[in-house]
């Protein structure tokens, strides 16, 4: 359902204030030095994680140029398409959704200019679930900390996941270190993100996310940390450091 005033797809878990916040800066999605600079820096590590997890779970050929060929993939909260486009290049059949109509317009235009066939939709996970859609692989990166109802949101995600399918999530830990780096550092000191981009109280600890995933019907794996090196300005995967950013694989 679309709120015609704000251009927001509404649903039980959509936080319209969060959607409106990011819609205001939607034109900057593909500017590597703009408000989404942190995501551009993080993207290679996110893509490495997604590729490794998908290849391992589905028994794919990791040496192939298109290892995700044959998989129907859903990118929830796709924003400007920073993950959707690489997933399409890796061979997946990609459906990308966002609650912001403006984000979808920006993402659709960029993908078209890049010669990529991606099905972008201004809708929600709940609406897709109600329509009976099913996917092999769901990408759920930096979304759960922005929804209004985590339990209902994950239930919708589970309904969308095929049996033996996989959902890959990433979010921010609710720690003092995360408050220092993800909010104070990123929003107020370095000004990588607009002030108010995150609410520390909506961050989830790995154990909390794993518990919520289990309740939704998933088998949650151990968290993997995304760790930033301020000197090299690069991210890396870590099996031990999940103090700030982390990812989690959830098997259906």
* Long-range CB contact pairs, 105-113, < 8 A, 24+: 105/26, 106/26, 106/27, 106/29, 106/30, 106/80, 106/81, 107/29, 107/78, 107/79, 107/80, 107/81, 110/29, 110/30, 110/80, 110/81, 110/85, 111/81, 111/84, 111/85
Q: Which residues of 192-205 are buried (b: 16+ CB within 10 A; e: fewer)?
A: bbeeebbeeebbbb
The 10s digit of each residue's pLDDT in 11-23 is 567 667 655 655 5
| Dist CA 212 CA 38 (whole Å) | 27
Q: Is the pLDDT of residue 230 over 90?
A: no
pTM confidence score: 0.88
The 10s digit of each residue's pLDDT in 125-176 is 999 999 999 999 999 999 999 899 999 999 999 999 999 999 999 999 999 9
């Amino acid at each position: 359902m679309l709120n015609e005033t704000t251009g927001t797809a509404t649903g039980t878990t959509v936080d319209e204030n969060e959607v409106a916040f990011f819609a205001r800066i939607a034109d900057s999605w593909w500017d590597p030095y703009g408000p989404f600079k942190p995501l551009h820096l993080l993207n290679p590590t996110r893509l490495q994680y997604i590729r490794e997890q998908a290849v391992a779970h589905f028994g794919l050929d990791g040496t192939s140029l298109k290892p995700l060929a044959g998989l129907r993939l859903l990118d929830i909260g796709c924003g400007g398409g920073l993950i959707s486009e690489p997933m399409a290049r890796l061979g997946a059949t990609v459906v990308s959704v966002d609650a912001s109509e403006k984000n979808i317009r920006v993402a659709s235009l960029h993908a078209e200019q890049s010669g990529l066939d991606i099905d972008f939709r201004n809708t929600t996970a709940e609406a897709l679930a109600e329509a009976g859609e099913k996917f092999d692989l769901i990408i759920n990166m930096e979304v759960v900390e922005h929804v209004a109802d985590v339990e209902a949101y994950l239930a919708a995600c589970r309904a969308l996941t095929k049996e033996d399918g996989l959902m890959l999530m990433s979010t921010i830990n609710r720690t003092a270190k995360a408050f220092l780096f993800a909010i104070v550092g990123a929003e107020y000191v370095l000004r990588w993100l607009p002030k108010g981009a995150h609410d520390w109280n909506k961050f989830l600890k790995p154990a909390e996310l794993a518990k919520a995933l289990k309740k939704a019907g998933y088998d949650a794996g151990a968290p993997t940390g995304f760790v930033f090196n301020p000197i090299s300005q690069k991210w890396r995967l870590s099996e031990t450091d999940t103090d700030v950013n982390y990812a989690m694989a959830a098997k259906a």
